[in-house]
Amino acid sequence: MPGMQFPYPRKSSIPNSPYISSRSTSYRTRRRLRNLAPYVVGLIAFVWLLIYLFSGPSNPDAYRRPPAGIPEVVIVTTLEPHLSPRYRDNIIENRRDYAARHGYTTFFPNTTDYDLMPNSPSSWSTIPALRHAMTKWPQTPWLWYLTSEALIMNSRKDIYTSIVEPRKLESLMITDQPVVPPDSVIKTFSHLRGERVDFVLTQDKEGLAGGSMLIRTGEWAKYFLDAWFDPMYRSYNFQKAENHALEHIVQWHGTILAKLALVPQRVMNSYTREVGGGDSSGLYQEGDFVANFHGCANNGNRNCEEEMAHVSRVLVTSLEEYCKSRPVIEITNVCDCTRTIMSSRRAGNTIRGPRSALTDFLAANNISAQQIRDDYQRRRTQPEAGDAGEGSSAQTPVQDEDEALAAAAQAEEDEKKSKKRKRTEKEAIDKIKKAKATKKGKKAKKDDPDDESEYEDDFYKKARPAPGQFEHCEICSKRFTVTPYSKEGPDGGLLCTPCGKELAKDIKKEQKATSSKPVGKKRRKLESDRLDGVARCGAKSLVQLCIEKVAAHHDSIEELGDLPQPLVERLSQLFSKKRVMKSKTLPLFLRPDLESVVVHDAAYLEEDDYRQMFAVVPKMQKLVLSNACQLKDDAIDYMLERCRNLKHLSLYSANLVSEGMWHRLFREVGTKLQVLKLKWLDAAFEDAVMEDVVKYCPNLERLKLKLCRRLGQDAVDCVAKLPELKHLSLQISREVSNDTLVNLIELRGSGLQTLSLEKFLDVDDAVLQTIHDNCNRLTKLRLSENDTITDAGFAALFTDWRNPPLTFADFNSTRDVDNNNPTGPEEAPIGLASNGFRALMAHSGAALRHLDVASCRFIELSAFIDVFNGAETYPSLEYINISFCNKVDTSVVAGIFKSCPALKKLVAFGCFDVRDVVVPRSIALIGVPTAQDAIEQFGVGIGVEEAIGRMVEVGA
């Protein structure tokens, strides 16, 4: 009912007492707020602190250095077409010298390369030039624009540590100051963090100084350059064109001001003359990074080339004084000195050595060898008579500068002299040699019994100081405490610990150099070369020598040029073998024109290296990565984005790729995939992934699955559904039934050209019979490490088989394994035995090139003699492995030599009845157990008949 009153107030309500005034209520409220205020402020401050400490930078790549092979900075300088060739060359050489020193790169576009509005000043070309550089080097973090009116004077400074490193930049930033001096109401931010800065600039007395500026590449840089190059600004007749447009957008666009950091002018843009009056805080001083001859191009009374040449002449004069003060260099004139000094400069070669202090001095002061030579020749040709007085008066101010720079060069010399240990190294070596010569003389004197000078020397010899006393080192004159282990110097004095160690090293090196070296290659090195395929008969080819030389000096190689793909892959194999395939050397094997990337050992590669691999080689069709332990989902995702034409994929130990990414990989590239080789995969690659392989890879022709731990019988069933399969290699860790293999061969056997089944221990004769009935195109057959198939099964396989002769046969380790009966069952031998071996050679001997019957120990001697009797020949057989066939003797080896005219390599480990073998030319015999011979014996100089004759003579 309206107006109804409850007898008691609700607990959730506050009674409106008629006795409490509104004034007292407001007082109570204020008091409560006052009590809560500290807690609220503290909570806000705590949240702000967490955000400040743990929030990432605005640019996610702020701390990330570029991948190997990508320059960290691109120096951009726009050049006017009307510049003189000499002036242009000096500017380009100045930038390139500095860039080569720090690993940067340069970009020199012409101002006429870009379409500008009619009647627009050419200085507007700065903006499209920066945009062009950003497109050309998308992964480079920083662009440095430097006007053609400036020179880099101190090449020791690098951009990152001197300017853009976040903490360094925070210490340099000019905060809370007018953006455009002197009275702009817009001021720089006072709390800007260094990692949030994307634009670094200086200012002079008149405004922003755009002659030297740094821009971090990225989306913000694209927005900034597009806004700056807006047609509205270009059509507006600014007095200073793009510079006034820059001042406008910086003051009126907060998104640009929020990324701007102003630094003192002398940090990166020192002027050689005052601008706008006022103090001289921005004028160039010795040691400054950049000297900007601001306004020299637009002022008719000034000439940029002459002003820069004047600075160079002053530096050249200082260099000449420096050369004259060095008596060590034997020269005939100053030009020879400078030529000697500058000979260590990088002149197109790709090998760099250590830089001396004088080289640093020349580079820091922008001294060119060509300029020194030209100035010297010009002074020589000047007439001695003429304006002598006028010339002397004109050179007076220059002489003062010459003296100052000569003093700087002398200071550089003094600094170098302070490194006493390096300077005295040659003297120490000379003393050591002198001491050895003295010892030899004393030894000769000892042989003369009438010579008493030795006793006189010992009588007057100074006593050795006791341990604990102080003594001065004989070589470096440094004071040290004598110990019982202090070494004696060349002249009998004691040496400090560092000099003693150096002396011991030198003596050890000399002893090692004079010691007799073993003749020929060491056994282990020879075996390593054999496994690499390097060890061959006769002299090495020129290509092989060049490949080995490149691999030996990998640290000094910058690029491989346009080598053909097979040589690149061969070099990759050697680099992987030597464990030098790392982030530094990977770019050698990446070129945009290549269609394959083969890395046999990617264990040292990081995640960014894979991204670089896919970025540089977008046309990739073949990818082979072994030991790809850092290949992750992000890299696979980037590969799917960049490389859309992948046809060949071989991965070894890529165990950080998730199951979901495996599914996505085959769904996106499966239609073009023709070759798939996977090995040593762990938990993420399961039978369900193979279902996607069958579903999305209809054109798959070659499949290799080895040691994939989670694959089993279901995966083999999936393989049977691949319609275009021609080459199959399986090594499954889990048990697979014979019925599954029989079904696979029945469905796909007619199209198979190669078949490899390794470590299928329970495969029986039924599988061989299925191969016999269904496979009629095989050229390669491997059935290894099996203890179930019988010799009768092998004989039946090769009897009346419609398949053409095999070229590759591998049946190693097919034998019975029973320690209680090492000779095996007599009635039905297990594995490849005598009858199966005879049937194999009768069927495929005419075309066979590779034969491996290692550990088939039940093949009798009579079977080997029947096959290799000299009457039967096998014209294509190049490789035979009969290791651990204990019935083989010397007569079998001789028969192999005679029956196989194309033989190149015979492996016979564990054949203890093979003795006194004479190896014919062009054949490598490996593993014959003769202690005094090498594991691998090369035949040299004699033919097969002569070798067999010698073996017969030795046996008789």
Segment 721-749 mean pLDDT: 94
Q: Would you say residue 83 lies in a domain?
A: yes
Helix H or strand E encompassing 260: strand 260-262
Q: Flag whether pLDDT at 248 surpasses 80.
A: yes
**Closest alpha carbon to 898 in 936, 949, 934:** 949
User: Both 325 and 294 in a single domain?
Assistant: no
Q: Flag whether pLDDT at 365 surpasses 70.
A: no
Higher pLDDT, 373 or 744: 744
Classify 802 as helix, strand or coil.
coil
What pLDDT is stored for residue 24 in this prediction?
46
What pLDDT is stored for residue 345 in this prediction?
38
Among the candidates 302, 325, 360, a domain finishes at 302
- Cβ pair 398, 314 in contact under 8 A: yes
The identity of residue 411, as a single letter, is: A
Q: Flag whether pLDDT at 421 surpasses 60.
A: no
User: Both 403 and 480 in a single domain?
Assistant: no
What pLDDT is stored for residue 638 in this prediction?
92
Among the candidates 370, 401, 428, a domain finishes at 428
Q: Cα-Cα-Cα-Cα dihedral of 161, 581, 681, 630, to 10°?
A: 0
Q: Would you say residue 677 lies in a domain?
A: no
Is residue 603 exposed (0-12), middle (13-18) or buried (19+ Cβ within 10 Å)? middle
CATH value at residue 226: 3.90.550.10
Higher pLDDT, 97 or 827: 97
User: Both 394 and 499 in a single domain?
Assistant: no
For the chain, give the percent of residues with pLDDT over 70: 72
**Closest alpha carbon to 711 in 725, 729, 690:** 690
User: Both 406 and 381 in a single domain?
Assistant: yes
- pLDDT grade, residue 680 (50/70/90)? very high
Q: Would you say residue 39 lies in a domain?
A: no
Plot region of 603 (φ>0 → left; ψ -120 to 50 → alpha; else → beta):
alpha
Per DSSP bridges, beta strands 260-262 and 199-203 are: parallel
Q: Would you say residue 712 lies in a domain?
A: no
Q: Would you say residue 543 lies in a domain?
A: no
- Cβ pair 284, 291 in contact under 8 A: yes
Among the candidates 302, 337, 365, a domain finishes at 302
Q: Would you say residue 566 lies in a domain?
A: no
Compute the 3-state secondary structure of the chain and give helix, strand, coil in percent, each to the nearest 5: 45, 10, 45
Q: In what order do the strands lie in the sheet with 208-216?
A: 105-107, 73-76, 142-146, 208-216, 199-203, 260-262
User: Both 290 and 315 in a single domain?
Assistant: no
What's the total number of domains in the chain?
Answer: 3
- pLDDT grade, residue 90 (50/70/90)? confident
What pLDDT is stored for residue 313 in this prediction?
59
Segment 411-421 mean pLDDT: 53
Q: Flag whether pLDDT at 940 surpasses 60.
A: no
User: Both 298 and 316 in a single domain?
Assistant: no
For the chain, give the percent of residues with pLDDT over 90: 32
User: Both 293 and 408 in a single domain?
Assistant: no
Q: Would you say residue 774 lies in a domain?
A: no
Q: Which of 549-553, 613-617, 778-782 has the lowest mean pLDDT?
A: 549-553
Report the distance separating Cα 666 and Cα 669, nearest Å.
5
What pLDDT is stored for residue 804 in this prediction?
95
- pLDDT grade, residue 387 (50/70/90)? very low
Q: 346: domain range?
A: 311-428
- pLDDT averaged over every residue in the chain: 78
User: Both 391 and 278 in a single domain?
Assistant: no
* Furthest-apart CA atoms within the chain: distance in Å: 146
- Alpha carbon separation from 896 to 485, 889, 926 (Å, rounded): 65, 11, 14
Higher pLDDT, 454 or 201: 201
What pLDDT is stored for residue 9 in this prediction?
36
User: Both 147 and 270 in a single domain?
Assistant: yes
Q: Would you say residue 534 lies in a domain?
A: no
* pTM strictly above 0.75: no
User: Both 289 and 153 in a single domain?
Assistant: yes
Q: Which of 56-60, 609-613, 814-818, 945-949 has the lowest mean pLDDT?
A: 56-60
- Cβ pair 719, 690 in contact under 8 A: yes
21-43 residue pLDDT tens: 444 445 566 666 667 777 777 77
User: Both 288 and 324 in a single domain?
Assistant: no
589-605 residue pLDDT tens: 999 899 999 999 999 99
User: Both 151 and 227 in a single domain?
Assistant: yes
Please provide residue 146's backbone torsions phi and psi, each rounded to the nearest 5 degrees. -130, 125
What pLDDT is stored for residue 663 in this prediction?
94
